[in-house]
Amino acid sequence: MPSHLAIFKKFFVEMGSRYVTQTGPELLDSIDPPTLAFQVLGFLWEYSMVQQEII
């Protein structure tokens, strides 16, 4: 399995990322910028942890 597919499977399927459920029809400009920044940082942190587990 290509590495990007393995990361996707590990992150979204096996770990059950909470960010999958938070996305919706809401427009980006209607989200509070500090909240969005923390969500992005959380996503990047979890993504980096998954990469370390795969490697």
pLDDT one-digit tens code per residue, 33-48: 667 677 777 777 787 7
Q: With beta carbons less than 8 A apart as the criterion, state whether 16 and 50 touch.
A: no
Q: What is the Cα–Cα distance from 28 to 33, expressed in whole angstroms?
A: 9
Of 9-13, 28-32, 51-55, least confident by mean pLDDT is 28-32
Give the global pTM.
0.33
Residue 47 is part of which domain span?
Answer: 3-54
**How many domains in the chain?**
1
**Helix H segments across the chain?**
3-8, 18-22, 33-54
